[in-house]
A and B are shown apart, each in its own frame.
Chain A
Amino acid sequence: MTSTLTTGDTSAAGATAGPAAAKQRRSTLHPYLFIAPFYLLYVLFMLVPIGVALWLSLCEWVGLGTPHWVGLRNYSHLLTDSSFHRALGNTGIYVLVSVLVIVPAALFIAQAINSRGLRARDLWRTAYFVPMVVSPIIVALIFGLIFDRQFGLFNSLLRALFGTGSVDWLGDPTMSKVAISLVMVWRWTGYLTIFFLAGLQNVPRELYEAAALDGASRFRTFRAVTLPALKPVTAFVVVTSFICAAQVFEEPYLLTNGGPAEATLSVAMFIFRAAFERQQFGYAAAAGVVLFVVVFTLSQLFNRLLGIGRIK
């Protein structure tokens, strides 16, 4: 990222002579002071907790007394715990929904909003963004009302349209996953649209004009002009939505409590349940470490592949 970064050394007066400038001045300490508050907080509230998580994951602890060292036992339990497998599988589904449904939908909507001469552009993008402004727990509350089997808005609409509508949105193992996914789509799409829209507005007009002169079809223009120009945004959006979907908590927690029979249980819920409902702090920490390793590795891989997050 950041193509125009640090065009010259501005840290000392007259040091624009390039990187090899021998004039190292007293001000070399300043940049460190500027970034120090972040790193202090980062160490205290990120690195230390991750270290503690690693240690706790090797212990058995109910929250009272001293943790009891058990080595890798928590991890071997996770390997055979079918609840954890289900949580991983469900979270995988949420991730797929966000990357394969929400991201393309956001791109499509951004294309529509970016149409030339469109009226009320500000209205569309603002209205679509609003779900993101609402607290996820309130979103879940509202959708609980809508998904209600007997009296919910969804089933009432289905009944009005098709004469029959008793879909058990929150009680059926498959439909509950669909319901949770729908809530995610509703909450995230307008947010991601903003990034694509900014990306589209950054594509030079001349490229489109050149494509039009060549008589390229709309589809071909999209593939040859739009998509390549959107690569950095797409990378950012995919990684962001992947990380967020991997941590879904509020929707299953409030709408289904992970049920029916763990059909919507997510990894974040699994961790919460183990620690704060079952007092298995070591076990919860181990599940957290597994999630961390998977999410961190995959997103670093994405970043490396797609070339984001670097600085000159």
Chain B
Amino acid sequence: MNVNVLRRPLLYTTLTALLLAFTAPLLWALSGSFKTRGDIFEYPPKLLPSPATLDNYRSLLTDQPFGRWFLVSTVVALLATVVSVFVCALAGYGFAKFRFAGKQLLFGVMFSSLSIPFAVILVPLFVILVKTGLGSPWFALIVPWVAPAFGIFMMQQYIVQSVPDEILEAARIDGASEFGIFRRVVLPLLRPSLGALGVWQFLQSYNSFLWPLVLVSDSSQYTLPLGLQTLFRAENRQYDLVLAGAVLAVLPAVLVFVVLRKQLLEGLSTGAVKG
């Protein structure tokens, strides 16, 4: 008990220090986004902007196609999310509730695709899509990424744990078709984990950089990360506009995360925990 009394303050101090370390860079960017160009690199650094200005936001939104970048990123991410959640739920269900020849092997193949580094397919996938005329961002930023093995694994684990066989049996006896059972019985039971997977997929797509960098050459189709990076280079590494853009780009992601954090954090870890 005595040990505990001594340990508590230490524990909270450590946790608070970590909290600062993990949030300070973001808060620093937030504060910087309200500073004038000259004040961003002022010494000694001021924690709060004075004078605070909205000029960075104003010129970002009026002089730069920020709204377009935002739209492209959001639409691409939403489409990729909807399709991939469906594909993952289908495959997860197949692996969780059926017994079939070659299951071991097929599951192993699916799982092992987690350890294929993206860099190996970067060049060939780019070449294939461009040569076959499928290089349009609306196809190439979405379709190749809607079947993530991680999502299937996550759904499979969740379905094993939370969809009882008896319900499926009952539906079969009632004469429901297999796909009907999936749609009307299984999917509604999966709602929490669909949410988790959805948030995860959305963030993956919304935040991705290397693939859009390689693929998108037309600046009217830039995604947010791409647009911000180009702006940074074009402005000769000046931070004023970029910080405002970073804040506006990060805000939706953080909001979605904070609102749905329970599902996401629990959903993410279900798969990895069971031995």
Contacts and interface: CB of A to CB of B under 8 A. Distances in A.
B124 A247 contact: no
A129 B265 contact: yes
A231 B22 CA distance: 27
Nearest to B233: A254
A247 to B, nearest CB: 5
B147 A37 contact: yes
A150 B45 CA distance: 11
A79 interface: no
Contact of A243 (B110, B115, B156, B275): B115
Given A35-B95, A291-B120, A145 B266 contact: no
Contacts of A34: 90-91, 93-94, 98, 182
Contacts, number: 333
The SS class assigned to the A binding surface is: helix
A243 B127 CA distance: 24
B112 interface: yes
Residue of B44, B107, B144 ringed by the most chain A CB atoms within 10 A: B107
Nearest to A293: B120
A9 to B, nearest CB: 5
A243 B265 CA distance: 21
A142 B160 contact: no
A120 to B, nearest CB: 9
Interface string B43-67: 1110000000000000000000000
Interface stretch (A173-181, A205-213, A219-227, A282-290): A282-290
A124 B17 CA distance: 11
A138 B127 contact: no
B70 to A, nearest CB: 13
A100 interface: no
A15 to B, nearest CB: 9
B131 to A, nearest CB: 10
Interface in B137-155: 143-147, 152
Contacts of B225: 135, 137-138
A296 B109 CA distance: 12
A125 interface: yes
Interface in B255-275: 257-258, 261-262, 265-266, 268-275
Given A46-B113, A143-B25, A276-B214, A41 B147 contact: yes
11 contacts: A30-B98, A34-B94, A41-B146, A42-B109, A50-B121, A113-B15, A126-B265, A137-B225, A151-B42, A151-B45, A310-B104
**Nearest 5 A-B pairs (CB), nearest first?**
A34-B94, A198-B269, A151-B41, A31-B98, A135-B207
